[in-house]
């Protein structure tokens, strides 16, 4: 283990700063256990200083014309593109997923930068006819103020960009609190934003635990919006606390996403989609497939095709291009994942493969878990209901299309679903009846594109969406301006 790892700082109001306490926390590589760097163990004082800096910067930033704000984001996109490989490698070292996926993560940030740069010349409001003569009405989007972005470790680049870029193009300023498992990727992103010409104070980054930094942001009266992605447990807490001061809150939380495989499905195609969605990112996506709902007529065939493919998946350091599945993020997630294997066995599900920590050879110092498949899972078992956030897949057998839809919808969550079928009528019915934020037809549950709304039903969120035009809503306040140029008092609804 290296003791020469670099010490990094918060960036608040255009100044690099240590935590007031002078304390730091270490950031580890989950594949090797190596220390990547030390980051300030911040608390309330640093969070409040960042809010004060963002509040001060807001008065100028809101007046920068939106097309100019968009141009800065365009340059951010150019710089992310230029540094894509380096950012991807940093991210793989810091959170483990394989390089092709961390490159994809940076790409989502690039896509979002270009998309929101364009919004600088749109930010559509609307003008519609008014009921009185010599009067006009126009609805515009105003920024809301200071936005706290609290982000997870599984998409260290993409998710912060989904929050910050729409917030910025709309004229808000930001306090960014990234997950403590991925501070370096977050810091790199902020550095790039300033290199692109962002005025000081517009984005402030504070490292530290949710319990202190996050909590201070929740309770600071000058924070207008909280945009949070993370666990359902923490999200619920955010909503409850933020409600006390009537903050706006946008939550993206758990998933228990299912791939439905009907009796007429192209099974080879389904196997590819299931493998990618269930074990990609080591199962640590909120869009990961963690349930397969299979028609009994093809269950055996599907397992026969899927099982050898799962067993062939190579675990290892994500920097090695021949590795399929990287480590899980940390020791506590590893033990949580394994506890679900025990729960599944106790519930009577059939553990077909995996179900254990892997410490063989070069995996010895990392947090590796064998890709796991349970069959004979019943829809109400905990392994079919609770988000595990790891490489654990539960297969549930059904005997009809209707039952498949019902099992899919029987979930506290509703982020992403998929259906494999060749029958156009079933596709149409699935489109109508599956209660989800995202539905894939003949593809896996992952891979949402940034120009569409991202988010889910039920306990996945609180009704908001990120990305696309919908992603602007939480960061903008509608303002309607009526101008009466009749020169007299006209009364709406009264003067006809
Ligand atoms: C997440 O899982 O937290 O659709 C985000 C996808 C990616 C983003 C997922 N574009 O899987």
pLDDT in tens, 11-50: 999 999 999 999 999 999 999 999 999 999 999 999 999 9
Rg for the chain, CA atoms, rounded: 24
> What is the pTM (predicted TM-score) of this model?
0.97
Spacing, Cα 97 to ligand 1 middle (Å) = 13
pLDDT of residue 145 exceeding 90: yes
What is the band of 3 on the pLDDT scale with cuts at 50, 70, 90? low
Residues constituting the chain: 496
Q: CB of 447 closer than 6 A to ligand 1?
A: yes
Q: What is the per-residue pLDDT for 1?
A: 46
Average pLDDT of span 407-427: 98
Q: For atom 11 of ligand 1, which residue has the closest CA? A: 446
Spacing, Cα 437 to ligand 1 middle (Å) = 12
Average pLDDT of span 61-81: 98
Average pLDDT of span 188-216: 98
Question: Which secondary structure element, helix H or strand E, spans residue 398, and what is its range?
Answer: strand 392-398
Spacing, Cα 447 to ligand 1 middle (Å) = 6
Q: CB of 256 closer than 6 A to ligand 1?
A: no
Q: Compute CA distances 159 → 74, 79, 224, whole Å.
A: 18, 17, 20
pLDDT in tens, 472-485: 999 999 999 999 99
446 Cβ contact partners less than 8 Å away, ≥ 6 residues apart: 276, 277, 280, 281, 285, 287, 288, 289, 416
Please say whether the beta carbons of 175 and 50 come within 8 A.
Answer: yes
Q: CB of 287 closer than 6 A to ligand 1?
A: yes
- 59 given a catalytic annotation: no
Angle between helix axes 84-95 and 99-119 (nearest 10 degrees) is: 120
Ligand 1 atom showing the smallest separation from residue 446 Cα: 11
pLDDT of residue 458 exceeding 70: yes
Q: What is the per-residue pLDDT for 5?
A: 87
Q: How far apart are CA 394 and CA 385, in angstroms?
A: 10
pLDDT in tens, 358-393: 999 999 999 999 999 999 999 999 999 999 999 999
Question: Which secondary structure element, helix H or strand E, spans residue 15, and what is its range?
Answer: strand 15-17
Opening angle at CA 322, ends 316 and 328, nearest 5: 30
pLDDT of residue 216 exceeding 50: yes
What is the band of 2 on the pLDDT scale with cuts at 50, 70, 90? very low
Q: CB of 125 closer than 6 A to ligand 1?
A: no
Q: Compute CA distances 25 → 7, 37, 214, 292, 360, whole Å.
A: 9, 8, 16, 39, 29
Average pLDDT of span 257-282: 98
* Mutation test residue for ligand 1: of 163, 257, 286, the one with most atoms within 8 Å of CB: 286
Average pLDDT of span 306-326: 98
Strand partners, 143: 476
Ligand 1 atom showing the smallest separation from residue 281 Cα: 2
Average pLDDT of span 458-468: 96
Q: Compute CA distances 70 → 98, 168, 458, whole Å.
A: 31, 8, 33
Average pLDDT of span 282-300: 98
Ligand 1 atom showing the smallest separation from residue 416 Cα: 4
Q: What is the per-residue pLDDT for 353?
A: 98
Q: CB of 155 closer than 6 A to ligand 1?
A: yes
Q: How far apart are CA 176 and CA 53, in angstroms?
A: 12
- 289 given a catalytic annotation: no
From the list 286, 387, 397, 466, the catalytic residue is 286
DSSP 419: E
Strand partners, 147: 174, 225
The mean predicted confidence, pLDDT, of the chain is: 97
From the list 94, 101, 108, 252, the catalytic residue is 252
Please say whether the beta carbons of 325 and 279 come within 8 A.
Answer: yes
């Amino acid at each position: 283990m290296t003791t020469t790892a670099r010490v990094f700082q918060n960036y608040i109001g255009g100044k690099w700063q240590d935590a007031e306490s002078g304390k730091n926390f270490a950031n580890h590589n989950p594949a090797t256990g190596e220390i990547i760097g030390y980051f300030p163990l911040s608390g309330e004082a640093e969070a409040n200083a960042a809010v004060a800096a963002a509040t001060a910067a807001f008065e100028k930033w809101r007046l920068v014309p939106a097309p100019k704000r968009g141009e800065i984001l365009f340059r951010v996109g150019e710089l992310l593109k230029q540094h894509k490989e380096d950012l991807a490698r940093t991210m793989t070292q810091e959170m483990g997923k394989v390089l092709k996926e961390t490159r994809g993560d940076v790409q989502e940030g690039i896509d979002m930068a270009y998309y929101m740069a364009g919004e600088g010349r749109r930010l559509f409001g609307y003008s519609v006819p008014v009921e009185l003569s010599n009067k006009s009405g126009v609805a515009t989007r105003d920024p809301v103020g200071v936005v706290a972005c609290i982000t997870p470790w599984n998409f260290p680049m993409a998710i912060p960009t989904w929050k910050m870029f729409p917030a910025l193009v709309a004229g808000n300023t930001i306090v960014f609190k990234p997950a403590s498992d991925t501070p370096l990727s977050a810091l790199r992103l902020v550095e790039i934003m300033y290199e692109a010409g962002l005025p000081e104070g517009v984005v402030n980054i504070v490292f530290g635990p949710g319990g202190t930094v996050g909590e201070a942001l929740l309770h600071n009266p000058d924070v207008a919006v909280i945009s949070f992605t993370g666990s359902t447990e923490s999200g619920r807490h955010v909503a409850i606390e933020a409600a006390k001061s009537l903050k706006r809150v946008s939550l993206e939380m758990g998933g228990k996403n299912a791939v439905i495989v009907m009796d007429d499905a192209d099974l080879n195609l389904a196997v590819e989609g299931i493998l990618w969605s269930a074990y990609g990112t080591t199962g640590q996506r909120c869009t990961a497939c963690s349930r397969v709902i299979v028609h009994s007529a093809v269950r055996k065939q599907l397992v026969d095709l899927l099982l050898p493919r799962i067993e062939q998946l190579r675990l290892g350091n994500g920097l090695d291009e021949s590795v399929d599945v990287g480590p899980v993020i940390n020791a506590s997630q590893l033990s949580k994942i394994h506890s679900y294997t025990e729960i599944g066995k106790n519930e009577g599900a059939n553990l077909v493969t995996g179900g254990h920590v892997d410490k063989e050879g070069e995996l010895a110092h990392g947090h590796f878990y064998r890709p796991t498949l349970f069959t004979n899972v019943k829809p109400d078992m905990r392994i079919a209901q609770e988000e595990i956030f790891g490489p654990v897949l539960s297969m549930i057998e059904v005997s009809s299309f209707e039952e498949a839809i019902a099992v899919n919808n029987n979930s506290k969550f509703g982020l992403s679903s998929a259906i494999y079928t060749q029958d156009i009528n079933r596709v149409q019915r699935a489109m109508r009846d599956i209660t989800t934020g995202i539905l894939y037809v003949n593809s896996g549950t992952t891979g949402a594109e940034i120009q569409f709304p991202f988010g889910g039903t039920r306990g996945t969120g609180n009704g908001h969406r990120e990305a696309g035009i919908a992603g602007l809503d939480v960061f903008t306040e509608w303002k309607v301006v009526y101008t009466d140029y009749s020169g007299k008092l006209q009364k709406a609804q009264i003067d006809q």
